[in-house]
Amino acid sequence: MREITYLEAVREAMSIEMRKNDDVFLMGEDIGVYGGAFGVSRGMIEEFGPERIRNTPISEAGIAGAAVGSALTGMRPIMELQFSDFITIALDQIVNQAAKLRYMYGGKGKVPMVVRTPSGSGTGAAAQHSQSLEAWVTHIPGLKVVQPSTAYDAKGLLKAAMDDDNPVIFYEHKLLYKTSSEVPEEEYSIPLGKAEVKREGTDITIVATAIMVHKALEAAAELEKEGISVEVVDPRTLVPLDTETIIESVAKTGHLVVVHEAVKRGGFGGEIASMIAESEAFDYLDAPIKRLGGVETPIPYNPELEKAAIPQVPDIVNAVKEALTKKAVAK
């Protein structure tokens, strides 16, 4: 074990797989000598060459189409979108082709492709380069959706995504690239659809994704000083979703706060809340579920307004306290 950054963990996972399997290749805008918009693939072209680290034109629809076609013919492409916002241009190929072809071919064809893309705000990139749109793609049968929050999870989940015979959308939060954690040098895999309890607690459950996992852990540390024990659950993959781990946690604590960076309305937190409402954990709730998400505005360019647009640690602390003071309707 050694400590490496999230960015290095993603690069390492791709490099290990590419050394093993000549069918794996990376494609995207400026990923070669430049190393990608955030430097994730820096140095890879020197090892694997331009045939396997393929710079593309500025055409997200074209990149996605090439990825679908190459996957259908036996390759295992990793396509990089410079910003997750640009998936809007590639959605026809991803939603109407990649997600559906295995079903439409009766299982005789498969589309083993990974769509890697940096998401979220916090870098001053403004409204068209800072959105969190993961809930969109969770609505599409045939797509798997991954959101790792640590370097360890990023390497293990990307390995699993590259091994999968279905299209996987792999979200990498920009602010996590420089964070670090202990990561094994050797190859390992984390199964898609397995959540992790990042912190155990007894009073309330926070289900958080991506950068919000770290903010939830900070909030939990502050709340502990006031005698409030918070359990933090990181789903890690949204599709498939590990409902069992979340239900077990809520049944234990009796309270639930769901927090994500995406706009609250239509965000994936609503899916988690409704899942709990439809499960046996509902009977264990001692108070209404609290959802926390971004405000209904495009992400501002101004740094202070940008922070105000998404949940911060004090917001999570307040949401927990509010959830603990409310009472469920008497049965």
List, by residue number, the catalytic residues. 129
Three-state DSSP class for 207?
Answer: strand
Q: Which residues contact 276 (CB under 8 A, 6 or more apart)?
A: 246, 247, 250, 256, 282, 285, 289
DSSP 226: T
Cα–Cα distance for residue pair 81/67, rounded to 1 Å: 12
CA 106 from chain centre, in angstroms, equals 29
Three-state DSSP class for 248?
Answer: helix
Q: Which of 223, 158, 114 is nearest to 13 (CA)?
A: 158
**Angle between helix 6-20 and 151-163 (nearest 10):** 30
Three-state DSSP class for 173?
Answer: strand
